[in-house]
Each structure stands twice: as C-alpha cells, then as structure tokens.
Amino acid sequence: MDVQSQFQDHEVVQQAPDDYVEISLSPDKIMMAWATSLYSYELLNKDGTVKSTGDMMDETLQRYVDAEEKLRRGEGVSKPIIGIGIMEGIEIGIGREIVAAAKALGVKEIPVYVRKAQVDEIKSYF
C-alpha cells in the first residue's frame, strides 16, 4: 500500500517549520522502538503487535479507526511527530494511532517529523 502522498504537514510543524525535519521510517520499526514507552499500552500488546480494536479504549479506539479508514480510503492524514522522551526512548508525540494503523495495514514506510536537534539520536534507533 503506497500512502506517501496522503501524509500532510501537522499544524505544529507549520507553526515552527525550521525546528523540524522530515524523515521516512518503517511503521514496524517505529512501533518496536516505541514499545518500551509508558504510553504504548494504549495501542500495543505486550508482544509489540497492534491491539485488536476490541482491546482499545474509547478515545484511542476512535482515533485509531479514523486513521485506519483514512489510510484505506486514500484520504489525508497528518505526518506523525516522533522524538526522544523523558525515559530516553522513542516517543510518538503526535500521531501514534496513524503509525499503528499504518503498521496494521502493512505499510512499509511513512514520513514522520523529528526535531532537528534529535535527528541523529533518533536515527540511531533505526
């Protein structure tokens, strides 16, 4: 599934475009790196697979289903923003449901934004 053209700039990036750089990453690898996050329980099972929709909570479920439907229909979605969190691991600050939906749909690569100051550190995870 080729979804590259569906991804649009997020408003956070539009407000400070000089602070971010776009890179392309595998949703599988992003989710594997994110699996140690305190927030990964929202979308991932303990083995790193995306939870079934029946196991997701209300707000998370709605965002995930919306992202998955948009990706399936070829509609626009925001480019996720990833960074290094407090616990020195990968965090998906914005768009974690988009990354999870892309992973579940078998998308091989998606564009994401990272802060310029964190590019090298983020690339070291992948």
Residue 31 has pLDDT above 70, yes or no: yes
- The domain that holds 58 is classified in CATH as 3.90.1530
Q: Residue 110 belongs to what domain range? A: 4-124
Note the pTM of the prediction, 2 decimals.
0.89
What is the Cα Rg of the chain in Å? Answer: 14
Average pLDDT score over residue span 33-60: 90
Report CA torsion sign: 19, 1, 62, 57: negative
Cα 75 from chain centroid?
16
pLDDT at 2: 59
pLDDT at 3: 62
User: How many independent structural domains does the chain possess?
Assistant: 1
